[in-house]
Amino acid sequence: MTRLAIRAEGLTKRYGRLLALDALDLTVSAGEVFGFLGPNGAGKSTTIRLLLGLARPTAGRAQIFEHPAADVVAAHSLMAYVPADVALWPGLTGAEILELLGRTGPGVDRAYRSELVQRFALDLSRPARTYSTGNRQKVALVAAFATRAPLLVLDEPTSGLDPLMEQEFRRAVRLARERGQTVFLSSHQLAEVEAICDRVAILRSGRLVEVAAVPELRRLHRTEVEVSFTGTAPDLADVPGVEAIHTTRPDRLRFSLTGPPAAALQALAAANVTALSVRESTLEEIFLDYYGEASR
Ligand SMILES: Nc1ncnc2c1ncn2[C@@H]1O[C@H](COP(=O)(O)OP(=O)(O)OP(=O)(O)O)[C@@H](O)[C@H]1O
């Protein structure tokens, strides 16, 4: 049986009348890179706080490997965490902070930490008060990756990073994955999720609306097809899976397609098609569909 890194069962958090997280059931297998997505206020940080044992659930439970999340000492010996707003000790230098953080976690791979400092171009001699947001984030990321903890919990870890550093981040996640570490990543950056995650969960208004592998999620959604033709337009009116047919020019039309394409292809074959372009919806479009529903 696969070992689970994270298990949430009926995990619920209320803040007064607000139901911030509503009976979340979720499992993340050891070794997965798992993306956690949702619009602002969906409950992502609340979930992370519950997983870290920093907040108490109103109902339900969370487990980190074989430990209850509330058993903070045991659970934290297996994880490293990077918060969304990294606050550091302003008077300490980057080097001192890495030392301090190294002593609180599950251990440090010093050689790897030095490599990460180079890769993330961190100047460790400066006091943290002089660090930019991105540099503070880099210190926290270096500290977390260098622990080699079995579970890395990263709350919007790249919001302050420039594209070059974002590449380094992706590389570090890939290396973590190769070593069998589990990564739980909350993010708004869809390209990042698409590039590095095995599965994603989408949270909306405290509720889980979808958990899927990235390719599977794309398949759930539509393909945009554009067709040029001569003569009579293809008759797509009652073809299963074909929706939103638009005539863009007298000799061109566009439609979206869900499910198997056979019927649509047959209808197209009956016409004199001169050009065909097929485009899968991007992850961004898929998520905008989900996110958009939140405000409806
Ligand atoms: N300590 C708190 N007291 C009261 N309400 C809270 C508290 N923490 C979070 N909330 C509310 O719970 C809901 C979920 O917030 P949460 O921070 O988990 O969202 P999020 O998905 O992380 O959003 P973002 O993407 O903006 O970080 C929001 O409506 C928020 O206002």
Check whether 289 has a pLDDT greater than 50. yes
Q: Is the CB of 43 under 6 A from ligand 1?
A: yes
Q: What is the DSSP string of 167-205?
A: HHHHHHHHHHHHTT-EEEEE-S-HHHHHHH-SEEEEEET
The single-letter DSSP state of residue 3 is: P
How confident is the model over 102-120, as a mean pLDDT?
Answer: 87
Task: Name the residue at shortest CA distance from atom 3 of ligand 1.
Answer: 15
How confident is the model over 16-28, as a mean pLDDT?
Answer: 96
Task: Name the residue at shortest CA distance from atom 7 of ligand 1.
Answer: 15
What structural domains does the chain harbor?
A: 4-218 (3.40.50.300), 222-280 (3.30.70)
* pLDDT greater at residue 259 or residue 261: 261
Which of helix, strand or coil describes residue 127?
Answer: strand
ipTM: 0.95
The ligand 1 atom at the shortest distance from the C-alpha of residue 13 is 12
CA dist 84 and 106 (Å) reads: 21
Confidence at residue 44, expressed as pLDDT on a 0 to 100 scale: 93
Close Cβ partners of 188 (under 8 Å, ≥ 6 residues apart): 37, 156, 159
For 198-218, how does the pLDDT look when each residue is reduced to its tens digit (9 = 90+)?
A: 999 988 889 998 888 887 776
For 146-195, how does the pLDDT look when each residue is reduced to its tens digit (9 = 90+)?
A: 998 999 999 998 888 888 999 999 999 999 999 999 999 998 777 788 88
Confidence at residue 112, expressed as pLDDT on a 0 to 100 scale: 94
Percent of the chain with pLDDT over 90: 59
Give me the phi and psi of 219, to 5 degrees please: -65, -30
Q: How confident is the model at residue 258 (pLDDT cuts 50, 70, 90)?
A: confident
Confidence at residue 224, expressed as pLDDT on a 0 to 100 scale: 87
Q: Is the CB of 44 under 6 A from ligand 1?
A: yes
Q: How confident is the model at residue 221 (pLDDT cuts 50, 70, 90)?
A: low
pTM score, whole prediction: 0.80
Confidence at residue 141, expressed as pLDDT on a 0 to 100 scale: 94
For 225-241, how does the pLDDT look when each residue is reduced to its tens digit (9 = 90+)?
A: 999 999 999 999 999 98
Check whether 295 has a pLDDT greater than 50. no
- How many A from CA of 47 to the centre of ligand 1? 9
Q: Ligand 1 pocket: which of 24, 36, 44, 54 to mutate (most atoms <8 Å of CB)?
A: 44
Task: Name the residue at shortest CA distance from atom 26 of ligand 1.
Answer: 40
In the predicted model, what is the mean pLDDT of the chain?
A: 89
Confidence at residue 296, expressed as pLDDT on a 0 to 100 scale: 43
Confidence at residue 178, expressed as pLDDT on a 0 to 100 scale: 95
